[in-house]
Amino acid sequence: MAAGVAAWLPFARAAAIGWMPVANCPMPLAPTEKNKRQDELIILNVSGRRFQTWRTTLERYPDTLLGSTEKEFFFNEDTKEYFFDRDPEVFRCILNFYRTGKLHYPRYECISAYDEELAFYGILPEIIGDCCYEEYKDRKRENAERLMDDNDSENNQEGSMPSLSFRQTMWRAFENPHTSTLALVFYYVTGFFIAVSVITNVVETVPCGTVPGNKELPCGERYAVAFFCLDTACVMIFTVEYLLRLFAAPSRYRFIRSVMSIIDVVAIMPYYIGLVMTNNEDVSGAFVTLRVFRVFRIFKFSRHSQGLRILGYTLKSCASELGFLLFSLTMAIIIFATVMFYAEKGSSASKFTSIPASFWYTIVTMTTLGYGDMVPKTIAGKIFGSICSLSGVLVIALPVPVIVSNFSRIYHQNQRADKRRAQKKARLARIRVAKTGSSNAYLHSKRNGLLNEALELTGSTEDEQHMTKGTSLIESQHHHLLHCLEKTTGLSYLVDDPLLSVRTSTIKNHEFIDEQLFEQNCMESSMQNYPSSRSPSLSSHHGLTTSCCSRRNKKTTHLPNSSVPATRLRSMQELSTIHIQCSEQPSLTTSRSSLNMKSDDGLRPNCKTAQITTAIISIPTPPALTPEGESRPPPSSPGHSTNIATTTTSNIVKVSAL
C-alpha cells in the first residue's frame, strides 16, 4: 500500500460504520494496538548531517532498513540518535522516498555509488519514480557496457593460460593477431591476398590494348591464364584460411552462422561453381552473375580494420533509423512520382511515361542529384518538381544525425576501451606492487617475531619495545592471522633469509646478533617512517643505515647496492639481510598515498624490490626453499621463477629485466 494511503486508514475504518445497520450478523472485534506510542520525532545522523522525521514516516516501508528494527543496530545510546556513516547527499533522496513515496535519482550522482546506497538501505531500485527511471536505466546500461568492455579486454589479455589446446591457441591466434608472430604473419598474408584478389578483379575489366583481330579486349580475356592463376592462388589461400578457422572455432555451428564466415563462403564459392560448371550457354549467364560475388572479398578486410567493424556495428544498431529513412523515402517517392506523372501527362513527348518511370525522376530530384535526363515541362510539373526537391532534402536530413551520433558514440566507446585497457595495466601493476608490499610487511614482522625471540635470549628488552611500536594495530592483527594460518597448516611463508627460520640463536654468535641489532635499527627507523609523519631518525650507525634511510629520503630509484659498503661481501646472510633492509623500506611506503604517486616513480623502485626479493629467495639453502614452494606469496609473477637460476651473489641486482 502506498505511503500516504496508510494515513487514510482511520478514515476508511471510520467510514465502515456505514455498513453496520445493513449487516445481519455481529462484527469481529477490532484489533487493539498494543504499545500505542505517540508519534515521535527521531533523529538520523548521517555523517554529521542530522535529519529528523516522524517514526511513522519511516515505518511506512517495513521491509527496508530504516523501517524495520534493523535500524536499532545503528542507535547510539549516548546521543539518542541513529548514526549512519554514509553519504548524506544520497540519504536525502532516500528519506524523501519515505516522505513522498517516490524515489528519485539525482543526475549528478554516480550510478554505482547510488546503487550501493540503495542496497545498504534495503530499497529496490525498481521503485524509482517514472520521472527519473529512464535516466537511471540509461546510466546503468552505460555503466554495464563499460564494465563488460573491461571484462572482455581482461579476458582477452589473460596472461599465459596454462593449458591451451592446439585448437584453442589457433583460435586465439586468428582472433587476435598480436598474440604470436605466426598469427601476425598469417594476418598480413591474408590481408595481402585479399588486396591482390580485389585488384585483379578490378584490373580484369580494364581494356588492355588490342589483339590482332582489332577488337578491344579487357585484360581479363587477354591474359586469361595469368588471371586465372592469380584467382586460383587467392581462392586457395582463402579456402585454407576458412577451413583452419572452421577447425579452430570453439563452436563450429555458431561460427558457420556468423557474418564473417558467410562472407568468406560467398567470396570463394563463385570460383568453385565456375570450376564445376561446364561452358554451357544457358548457365553461363548465371555464371557471370556469380562472378559479381567475388567483390565480396573486399568485406574480408573488416577482420583487419577496426573502423570497418565499427561502421558495420553502427549500421546494425541504427537499423530502425535506417528503416525509417527508407520507409519515408519510399512514401515520398511514390507520392511525388504520382503527382509528377499526372502533372506531366498533358505535355507532349513527356518522358514521364508511367508512374514507375517517374520514380527515377523523383529519386534523382529528392537526393538533389538532378541528372537532367528527365525534366518537367509543364508549369504544374515544375512547381511540384521544386516542392519535391525541397522536401527531399528534409526527409534525408532527418535520420542522418541519429546515425551519425550513434557512430560517434560507438567509436568513442572504442577509444575509451583502449584507454581503459592501458590504464588497467598500470593499475594492475600497482596492485601487484601493493600485494608484494603487504606480504613483505608480513614477512618483515615475522622476522620481528623471530628476532624478538632471539632478543629474549639476549635479554635486550628495550629494543624489543622499539620494534613493536612501529606497526599499526590492524597490521599486527593481520600478521598474527597469517601466522596462525601458517601454524595451522604447518607450512610457512617463505622468509627472506632462510637462516631466520631456524630458531636457534644460541648457536649463532655475536656476529649474528650484531647483524640483528644493526638490522633492527634500520628497520626501526624505516618502520617509524611508515605509520606516522615523524621524521626518520637518521641513525648514524653505519654507512649501511644511512644508505637505507638516505635512499628513502631522496626517493630516488638508484640501485640500492650502489651505496652499500663492502660489508655486504662478508657473508651470504649478511647480504640477504642487507637486501631485505633496502627492500623493506620502499615497500613499507607503498601505502595508498604512494600508489597515487607518479606511476613510474612508484613502480620502478618497487619492481626492483620484487627483483631483489626474488634474488634473495634464490640464495640457496635448499631445505628452506623447497617445502615452502607452494605457500609463496602470490605477487611474484611467473616471470620471476625463470630468473631464479640466473642469480649469482655478485650480480644480485641485475637479476632480470622485468
Partner 1 sequence: SDKIEDELEMTTVCHRPEGLEQLEAQTNFTKRELQVLYRGFKNECPSGVVNEETFKQIYAQFFPHGDASTYAHYLFNAFDTAQNGSVKFEDFVMALSILLRGTVHEKLRWTFNLYDINKDGYINKEEMMDIVKAIYDMMGKYTYPVLKEDAPRQHVEVFFQKMDKNKDGVVTLDEFIESCQEDDNIIRSLQLFENVM
Contacting range for partner 1; rule: CB under 8 A; set: 11-19, 184-192, 392-400, 479-487: 11-19
User: Does residue 275 bind partner 1 (CB under 8 A)?
Assistant: no
Q: Are 474 and 595 in contact (CB under 8 A)?
A: no
Identify the CA nearest to 51 among candidates 74, 75, 76, 84. 84
What's the closest the beta carbon of residue 96 comes to partner 1, in angstroms? 13
Piece of 1-9, 158-166, 361-369, 635-643 that binds partner 1 (CB under 8 A): 1-9
Q: Are 381 and 405 in contact (CB under 8 A)?
A: no
Q: Is residue 400 at the binding interface for partner 1, with CB under 8 A as the rule?
A: no
Report the SS3 class of residue 75: strand
Give the integer Cα–Cα distance in Å for 585 and 536.
12
- Cβ proximity to partner 1, 26 vs 212, nearer residue: 26
Q: Determine if 2 is a binding residue for partner 1 (CB under 8 A).
A: yes
Measure Cα distances from 65 to 72, 117, 119 in Å: 9, 11, 10
* Nine-digit cell string for 350: 513527356
**Based on CB atoms, which residue is closest to partner 1, 41 or 319?**
41
- Min dist CB 596 to partner 1, Å, is 48
Nearest distance, CB of residue 31 and partner 1, angstroms: 9
Which of 166, 186, 164 has its CA nearest to residue 177?
A: 186
Q: Interior CA angle at 410 toward 406 and 414, to 5°?
A: 165
Candidates 15-23, 186-194, 205-213, 497-505: pick the segment binding partner 1 (CB under 8 A): 15-23
Residues 206-245, mask of contacts with partner 1 (x by CB under 8 A): ----------------------------------------
Per CB under 8 A, 473 contacts partner 1: no
131 vs 292 by CB, closer to partner 1: 131
Q: Does 162 bind partner 1 (CB under 8 A)?
A: no
DSSP assigned state of 459? T
> Is residue 96 within the footprint of partner 1 (CB under 8 A)?
no
What residues from 26 to 45 belong to the interface with partner 1 (CB under 8 A)?
26-27, 29-30, 32-33, 38-39
**Cβ distance to partner 1 smaller for residue 25 or 507:** 25
- The nearest distance, CB 32 to partner 1, in angstroms, is 7
Instruction: Work out whether 276 is an interface residue with partner 1 (CB under 8 A).
Output: no
Task: Give the CA angle between residues 25, 26, 32 to the nearest 5°.
Answer: 150
Q: Which residues pair with 505 in a beta bridge?
A: none
Contacts of 19 (CB under 8 A, 6+ apart): none
Q: Classify strands 207-211 and 215-218 as parallel, antiparallel or unpaired.
A: antiparallel
* Angstrom distance (rounded) from CA 204 to CA 191: 20
Phi-psi region of 277 (alpha: psi -120 to 50; beta: other; left: phi over 0): beta
Stretch that binds partner 1, among 25-33, 121-129, 190-198, 208-216 (CB under 8 A): 25-33
The closest alpha carbon to 298, from 274, 256, 266, belongs to 266
Dist. CA 611–CA 632, nearest whole Å? 15
| Interaction of residue 131 with partner 1, rule CB under 8 A | no
Task: Give 11 or 108: the residue with its C-beta nearer to partner 1.
Answer: 11
Cβ nearer to partner 1, comparing 100 with 280? 100
Contact 546, 637 (CB under 8 A): no
Size of the site for partner 1 (CB under 8 A): 31
Please provide residue 309's backbone torsions phi and psi, each rounded to the nearest 5 degrees: -65, -40
**Closest CB 429 distance from partner 1, rounded Å:** 56
- List residues bridging with 75 in a β-sheet: 82
Nearer to partner 1, 31 or 48 (CB): 31
Q: Does 422 bind partner 1 (CB under 8 A)?
A: no
Q: Binding string to partner 1 for residues 557 to 576, with x set by CB under 8 A, is what? A: --------------------
Pairing, β 81-84 against β 41-46: parallel
Stretch that binds partner 1, among 21-29, 87-95, 225-233, 427-435 (CB under 8 A): 21-29
**Closest to partner 1 by CB, 13 or 254:** 13
Residue 60: count of CB within 10 angstroms of its CB = 21
Binding-site ranges for partner 1 (CB under 8 A): 1-2, 4-5, 7-27, 29-30, 32-33, 38-39
